[in-house]
Amino acid sequence: MSGNASLLQADGLINCAYSLKSAYAKNAIWLMNRSTLGSVRTLKDSYGQYLWQPGIASDVPNTILDHPYVETPDMPAVAANAFPIIFGDIKRAYVIVDRVQMVMTRLTERYADFGQIGFIARKRVGGQVVLPEAILKHQIHT
């Protein structure tokens, strides 16, 4: 975990969870990188209870404040003024679209010496936030 882990506060996550509109809270999940997740797992509420809770059965996910999380390597690390955590109903907030059909290219000459045929597949996809109110970005304040 980074030296900035102490910037992460339990009250901040609790406030984030309860600031999301009720319509999106039921299906909300947390997104953060592995380092941030490690820091969150050490946070306790005012009663000394960990915010992170293990799933009690094989089909029940681990949770943070009763919501599942997804480890997302591309999220930033905990740092002053950073946004290392996203919380919300991602399925309603974000759309991924196919930009073009998949294109396959057959490489017959390149592997001819080996008696093989190679293929290259390309597909262009895109995505964007379409319902911003369904997610919150948790900012680290100093």
Structural domain boundaries of the chain?
3-93+131-138
Which CATH code of 3.40.1440, 3.30.70, 3.90.1070, 3.30.2320 fits the domain covering 3-93+131-138? 3.30.2320
pLDDT value, residue 108: 84
Q: Does residue 93 contact residue 135 with C-beta atoms inside 8 Å?
A: yes
Selection from 133, 136, 129 nearest residue 13 by Cα: 136
Q: Helix, strand, coil: what percent of the chain each, to 5?
A: 25, 30, 45
Are the C-beta atoms of residues 130 and 95 closer than 8 Å to each other?
yes
pLDDT value for 92: 97
Q: What is the pLDDT of residue 4?
A: 67
Residue 3 pLDDT = 54
CB contact at 8 A, 140 and 79: yes
The DSSP-derived string for 57-121 is STTS--EETTEEEEE-TTSPPS-TT---EEEE-HHHHEEEEE-S--EEEEETTTTGGGT--EEEE
Give the per-residue pLDDT at 5. Answer: 61
> Is residue 36 a contact partner of residue 78, using CB atoms and an 8 Å limit?
yes
Three-state DSSP class for residue 25: helix
Task: With a cut of 50, list the residues of the chain below it in pLDDT.
Answer: none
Tokens for 53? Answer: 């809770």
Q: CA separation (Å) from 119 to 71, 106, 110, 116?
A: 32, 5, 10, 10
